[in-house]
Amino acid sequence: MTIELRVPGARALVEPVAGGRLHQLFIEIDGLERPLLHAPDDPADHLARPLAGGCYPMAPWPNRIRDDAFEWRGRTFTIDNKREHALHGLVADRPWEVVARTGRVVELARDLGPGWPWEGRAWQRIELGARFLAMKIEVRSAREPFPAGCGWHPWFRRDVAGAEDASVTLHASRRYDLRDNLPTGATREVDREALLDGRPLGARRLDDCFAGFEPGKAVATVEWPRLRLQLAVQCRYPHVQVFTPPGALCIEPQTCAPDAFNLAARGLLDAGFAVAEPGRPVSLAARWSWEIPPAGGSV
């Protein structure tokens, strides 16, 4: 069942069965609907490749957990979601329940399932407005505290409205050092090559985590010749993973760095480690706002 959200100038398609994801966001440019996300024509194809299209939720952790294991309160827990380093949570390939719906808002939820050691649920709200898309996601504990994180993994197109490429500015001050594609916990000042500073992406390949965003300001700006998109994030420790495969762009807002549970066990709490407790969920809000320049002009 596809959920359609519609406002003048924009239309969003949400797929509850295919991981509760935003399948596509269409924005009207020059009188035509233009797709913003890299996604298959048939939403059912997400079931075969759940981590490769649209914008899907990541919970009860975002990104990766090293070697599928972490410690919590003196015990070691193993998580097997059948991917390297326990990748992208447990909910992107499972059906979600629609719990509320209007013409421009949908709320969805699902249990974290038997693959998670604690009883809990993931919940998200998606709202389409006049030149914005607002989302919120929560990890909720039913009975006892547990470590948690969440986020989204959008796959933006590079060729929006016929563009050859996208230009990205990332408003971050820190970048995590990596070992085996996972943060060591150390960070460094973002250098010009790593920081996406308004240049076209081209052949640059990143799979990196950034932090140090200025409160109240957008974390990233993405520009195509006929569209300017600003991405804002709200949580205690905003982090953004940037992944640039050929033909797509992923700017992934999340509450913590990859492998934050293991980093916290080493005392590195500023990587965004958080605990979901009954009545106190771990949550993240994001907002995509866009501008369309006059034909032949600039934003």
Strand partners for 14? 3, 22
pTM for this model (two decimals): 0.95
Residue 261 phi, psi (nearest 5): -65, -45
pLDDT band, residue 162 (cuts 50/70/90): very high
In the predicted structure, residue 138 carries a pLDDT above the cut 80: yes
E strand spans, 143-281: 146-148, 151-154, 156-157, 167-170, 174-179, 182-189, 197-200, 207-211, 220-224, 227-234, 239-243, 248-254, 274-276
Span 35-69, pLDDT tens digits? 999 999 999 999 999 999 999 999 999 999 999 99
Indicate the helix (H) or strand (E) that contains 142: none
169-191 tens-digit pLDDT: 999 999 999 998 899 999 999 87
State percent of the chain over pLDDT 90: 86
Instruction: Evaluate whether 198 touches 169 at the Cβ level (below 8 Å).
Output: yes
Distance separating alpha carbons of residues 8 and 89, to the nearest angstrom:
34
Position 270 scores a pLDDT of 86
d(CA 195, CA 225): 21
Q: Evaluate whether 140 touches 121 at the Cβ level (below 8 Å).
A: yes
Position 193 confidence tier, pLDDT thresholds 50, 70, 90: low
Query: Mean pLDDT score of the chain, rounded to an integer?
Result: 93
Confidence of residue 192 (pLDDT cuts 50, 70, 90): low
Among candidates 11, 17, 10, which has minimal Cα distance to 2? 17
- Name the helix (H) or strand (E) containing 29: strand 21-29
Q: What is the pLDDT of residues 207-237, one digit of tens each?
A: 999 999 988 889 999 999 999 999 999 999 9
Any idea where the domains of the chain sit in the sequence?
3-291
**Cβ-based neighbours of 296, under 8 Å, separated by 6 or more:** none
Q: The dihedral of CA 105, 252, 282, 142: what is its sign? A: positive
Torsions phi, psi of 67, nearest 5? 55, 25
- Residue 186 is predicted with a pLDDT of 94
Question: What one-character DSSP code corresponds to residue 158?
Answer: S
Domain covering 3-291, topology:
Beta-galactosidase; Chain A, domain 5 (2.70.98)
**Which residues have CB under 8 Å from 188's CB, separation 6+?**
174, 175, 177
- For the ranges 6-10, 64-68, 77-81, 217-221, the lowest mean pLDDT is seen at 77-81
* Dihedral of the alpha carbons of 252, 254, 256, 258, in degrees to the nearest 10: -40
Per-residue pLDDT at 297 exceeds 80: no
